C-alpha cells in the first residue's frame, strides 16, 4: 500500500534499526495501583522478547498458564521495553528465584484487579537515529515542530501486517470463507490485520485529499474529488493539514464520546486538539461516517459481518516531543509520548517520508 505523508519536506536519509540501545519504550499505566489486594503487579523490563514470550517464560517458571498473567499492551521485540504485568499474589514467593537474561523485575506492588488489555494511558519512547548529517538534522527539527503543532496521521505500523506485509490477505480470505485458521489468536490477528489495512487505506486517501486541497483551486479539485464545490471551498479555508468533511465521525480527544461533524465551529476545536477525526475499523456494530464523509469512507467499508468493528483516531497529537542532535556522533535522539495503540515507527516514517520496514535500517 502506498503511504501518503503530510509533511512537505523531501525524504530524509538516516539509519534506523530497532534495538535495545536505540529503541526504548516505557509504558504509562492508566491509573495508579492501589497498594493492596490479591494481585501482584510487576514492573518488568525486557529485551529482545515479545510480550507473549516474556509472559510464557514467567508462566513456566511459576507453573501456571500464560492466560493467568495480565498485561495491558504488546511491546516490540527488538527494543528495551518496560511494562506492567499482574499475577496472583500467592505466586510471589516463586518469583524470588526467577532469573532471565532478557527479563528483569524492577519493582512490585499490589492491586485489587488483574491488569487487562488496554489498561494503559500510552507509551513514552526514546529513539536514536544514526548517520544524520547537519542538513538532515535541521529537517528533522522542523518536522518535529510541525508534528508538535499539528499532530500526525495515526496509521497502523508495519508490525501489524507481518514480515511480508500480507497478513491482511489472510484475514480477507478468512472472512470470505476461502481460508481456515485453527489457531484462535492467529485467526483474530489476521482479521484485525485486514481491518487495519482498510483503515490505513482510508487514512491515506484522506491525507491525499487534504494535500490536493492545499495545492489546487476549487475548479481543479472538482475534477478529481467527488465532493461538491461548496464543500471543497470550505475545506480550502481550513488551516489544519488534515481537512475535515461534513459527516466525519469525530471523537473527543484523547478519549470521549463520538459525534458527527456538522457544525463548522468544530473546525476550531479540531485545531485546538480538543477533538479529532476517527476512521473506521470495519465490522459489525461500528458507527459510520455520515453525509459527504461517508462517500469517501464507504469505499473502505468492506466488512459487514464476521467481526466487530469500532472507530479509531485517524489523527493523533504526540506529547512531550523533544529532539537533540549530537553532531559528533551524527545521532539524532528523540523523546515523545503516544497514546495507547499508536506506533512510534509511524512517526519515524512520517519524518523520513519513506518506509523503513524493508530497509536494512528498519528490519525488526
User: DSSP letters of 192-216?
Assistant: HHHHHHHHHHHHHHHHHHHHHHHHS
Q: How far is CA 176 from CA 26, 173, 212, 283, 303, in A?
A: 39, 5, 35, 13, 10
User: DSSP letters of 59-106?
Assistant: HHHHTS-GGGSEES----SSSEEEEEEEEEGGGHHHHTT--BTTEEEE
Torsion of CA 53, 54, 58, 61, to 10 degrees: 50
Cβ(23)–Cβ(356) below 8 Å: no
From 26, 76, 263, 264, active-site residue: 76
**What cell was used for 291?**
453525509
- Whether the bond between 254 and the residue before it is cis, its omega within 30 degrees of 0, is yes
Residue 258: strand, helix, or coil: strand
Cβ(253)–Cβ(273) below 8 Å: yes
* β-bridge pairing 331-339 and 120-129: antiparallel
Catalytic: 76? yes
Instruction: Using alpha carbons only, give the angle 75, 77, 78 rounded to the nearest 5 degrees.
Output: 125
Catalytic site positions: 76
Amino acid at each position: 500500500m502506498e503511504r501518503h505523508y503530510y509533511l512537505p519536506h523531501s525524504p530524509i536519509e538516516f539509519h534506523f534499526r530497532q534495538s535495545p540501545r536505540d529503541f526504548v519504550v516505557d509504558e504509562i499505566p492508566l491509573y495508579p495501583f492501589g497498594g493492596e489486594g490479591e494481585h501482584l503487579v510487576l514492573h518488568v523490563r525486557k529485551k529482545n522478547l515479545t510480550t507473549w514470550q516474556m509472559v510464557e517464560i514467567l508462566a513456566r517458571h511459576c507453573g501456571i498458564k500464560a492466560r493467568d498473567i495480565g498485561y495491558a499492551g504488546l511491546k516490540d521485540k527488538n527494543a528495551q521495553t518496560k511494562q506492567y504485568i499482574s499475577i496472583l499474589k500467592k505466586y510471589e514467593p516463586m518469583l524470588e528465584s526467577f532469573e532471565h537474561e532478557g527479563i528483569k523485575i524492577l519493582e512490585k506492588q499490589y492491586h485489587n484487579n488483574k491488569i487487562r488489555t488496554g489498561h494503559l494511558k500510552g507509551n513514552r519512547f526514546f529513539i536514536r537515529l544514526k548517520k544524520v548529517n547537519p542538513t538532515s538534522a535541521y529537517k528533522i527539527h522542523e518536522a518535529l515542530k510541525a508534528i508538535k503543532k499539528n499532530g500526525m496521521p495515526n496509521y497502523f505500523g508495519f508490525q501489524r501486517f507481518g514480515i511480508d506485509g500480507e497478513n491482511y490477505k489472510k484475514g480477507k480470505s478468512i472472512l470470505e470463507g476461502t481460508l481456515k485458521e485453527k489457531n484462535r489468536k492467529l485467526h483474530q490477528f489476521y482479521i484485525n490485520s485486514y481491518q487495519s489495512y482498510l483503515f490505513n487505506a482510508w487514512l491515506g486517501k484522506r491525507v491525499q485529499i487534504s494535500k490536493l486541497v492545499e495545492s489546487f483551486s476549487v475548479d481543479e479539485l472538482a475534477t478529481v474529488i467527488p465532493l461538491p464545490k461548496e464543500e471543497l471551498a470550505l475545506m480550502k479555508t481550513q488551516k489544519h493539514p488534515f481537512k475535515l468533511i461534513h459527516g466525519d465521525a469525530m471523537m473527543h480527544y484523547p478519549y470521549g464520546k463520538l459525534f458527527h461533524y456538522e457544525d463548522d465551529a468544530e473546525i476550531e476545536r479540531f485545531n485546538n486538539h480538543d477533538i479529532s477525526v476517527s476512521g473506521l475499523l470495519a465490522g459489525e456494530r461500528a458507527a459510520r461516517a455520515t453525509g459527504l464523509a461517508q462517500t469517501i469512507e464507504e469505499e473502505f467499508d468492506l466488512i459487514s459481518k464476521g467481526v466487530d468493528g469500532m472507530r479509531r483516531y485517524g489523527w493523533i497529537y504526540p506529547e512531550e516531543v523533544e529532539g537533540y542532535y549530537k553532531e559528533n556522533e551524527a545521532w539524532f535522539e528523540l523523546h515523545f509520548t503516544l497514546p495507547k495503540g499508536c506506533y512510534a515507527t509511524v512517526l519515524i516514517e512520517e519524518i523520513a517520508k519513506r518506509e523503513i520496514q524493508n530497509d536494512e535500517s528498519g528490519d525488526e
